[in-house]
Amino acid sequence: MNAVLDELKWRGLVYQSTDEAALAAHLDEGPVSGYVGFDPSAPSIHFGNLVQLMVWRRLQEAGHKPVLLVGGATGLIGDPRMSSERNLNPKEVVDGWVERIRSQVTKFVSFEGSNGAEVVNNYDWTQNISTLDFLRDVGKHFSVNRMLARDVVATRLESGISYTEFSYILLQSLDYRELYRSKGVTLQTGASDQWGNISSGVELIRRSEGARVHGLVTPLLTKADGTKFGKTESGTVWLDPAMTSPYAFHQFFLNAEDAKVIDYLKVFSWRDHDEIEHLAHLTETEPFRRAAQKALADDITDLVHSPAEREAAVAAAQALFGRGELDALPAATLQAVMKEVGAARVSGPELPTVVDAMVLAGVVASKSAARRAVDEGGAYLNNQKVTDPEQWLTTEDLLAGHYAVLRRGKKTIGGLVLD
């Protein structure tokens, strides 16, 4: 078996492939060019998309060449969803998202050397294809019966699916053939929900080119209960720091479930087998240490953002719970912290009392509970113990001129933001 394929399997990154033995032999034969696509359905990719970039980072380290496709054409259509028809975004919006995602994906692979990565946009080869040429050259190779059998299409038939979304599979298959013809691409990867699109591209190349190419899909990230990962109560975990702050990003992985944290470490960390097995042992025997979660959060934040942003996120978390100086945190980090704790907004010119502030911030249920916390020595403003229940907040109490952190006891945190 091929070494890099074995590594991908150990890391839980192989769910299905067109022919595993043939793919292993193909990878052994020499450098393989392969691609993965990212449709610009939002201004940023999310951490679920990062799985594919990890696959290609490992394949590239093994000598293979990644082609990263940002779908300026397919992004105008949208891969059909199980739930409902997608809204079609204006072309100028999609074009802007293409450029933003292009800049994101380039961070995770190398563009140097003989197997340096390339980034392509499928709008470049679809924009001038006529409808007649598309139907004759691509459509004739697809059976409607087979297309109707796809899970997403079968699910949507009752509620309705447009011809536009129904035809998406043809566009993605065309991409694979175009990259096969122009760049010698012989492997496409994606998440398991892309299997129908990928295998159809493989079949199109077999039918029209008489060539054998390959497909490989990874499992979807899931929580311990089997539900999809990538969406949380607070929204999608984006790679763009303006959409998910480095602090929130780090906190998200710090809270990974014990039952899944080792799976995520295998995917997103470059730690070797022995290190990960050791962290697995600690998770089983000393789960209170959360050693694997800390390793995961640190490694993936370093990768996506930077070591400096990870250090700032760690410092912010420590400062929130009284183990660091809140006033030393940058304004951007404080803003992210306020968003994460669900800080209440207040307007001047008169600031509230600490008792009122604790109620507004949600760290207590009532003014009487706030006064009781003060009397018992468990009320804190910016990590300073409050001793006077009649104390008022002042402008000097506002971190970076806008923020105040309220805490009850050791763990109940809230905040205020002065507009």
Per-residue pLDDT of the chain (419 residues; tens, 9 = 90+): 799 999 999 999 999 999 999 999 999 998 999 999 999 999 999 999 999 999 999 999 999 999 999 999 999 988 777 677 778 889 999 999 999 999 999 999 999 999 999 999 999 999 999 999 999 999 888 878 787 777 777 777 777 777 788 888 899 999 999 999 999 999 999 999 899 899 999 999 999 999 999 999 999 988 777 777 544 444 689 999 999 999 999 999 999 999 999 999 999 999 999 999 999 999 999 999 999 999 999 999 999 999 999 999 999 999 988 888 898 888 889 999 999 889 999 987 788 999 999 999 999 999 999 999 999 999 999 999 999 989 999 889 999 999 999 999 988 999 999 88
Does 247 show up as a binding residue in the annotation?
no
Give me the torsion for CA of 270, 273, 276, 280, rounded to 10°. Answer: 160
Cα–Cα distance, 50 to 207 (Å, whole number): 32
pLDDT at residue 5, rounded to an integer: 96
Q: Strands (DSSP E) along 237-303, which ranges? A: none
Answer whether 105's CB lies under 8 Å from 119's CB.
yes
The DSSP call for residue 71 is -
Cα–Cα distance, 82 to 100 (Å, whole number): 27
Answer whether 195's CB lies under 8 Å from 119's CB.
no
User: What is the full DSSP assignment across 111-166?
Assistant: --STT--EEEETHHHHTT--HHHHHHHTGGG--HHHHHTSHHHHHHTTT---HHHH
Q: Could you tell me which of 161, 224, 168, 213 has the C-alpha nearest to residue 194?
A: 168
Q: Which helix (H) or strand (E) segment is 34 a member of?
A: strand 33-38
pLDDT at residue 236, rounded to an integer: 85
CA 214 vs CA 139, 200, 321: distances in Å: 21, 11, 51
Answer whether 71's CB lies under 8 Å from 49's CB.
no
DSSP three-state, residue 272: coil
Does 123 show up as a binding residue in the annotation?
no
Contacts of 62 (CB under 8 A, 6+ apart): 3, 4, 27
What's the gap between Cα 42 and its chain centre? 12
| Cβ neighbours of 415 (radius 10 Å) | 27
Does 180 show up as a binding residue in the annotation?
no
pLDDT at residue 229, rounded to an integer: 56
| Cβ neighbours of 317 (radius 10 Å) | 18
Cα–Cα distance, 256 to 346 (Å, whole number): 33
Token readout for 230 is 């990538």
Does 339 show up as a binding residue in the annotation?
no
pLDDT at residue 232, rounded to an integer: 45
The angle subtended at Cα 260 by Cα 224 and Cα 273, nearest 5°, is 155
Cα–Cα distance, 419 to 401 (Å, whole number): 10
pLDDT at residue 235, rounded to an integer: 67
| Cβ neighbours of 72 (radius 10 Å) | 24
Contacts of 339 (CB under 8 A, 6+ apart): 245, 248
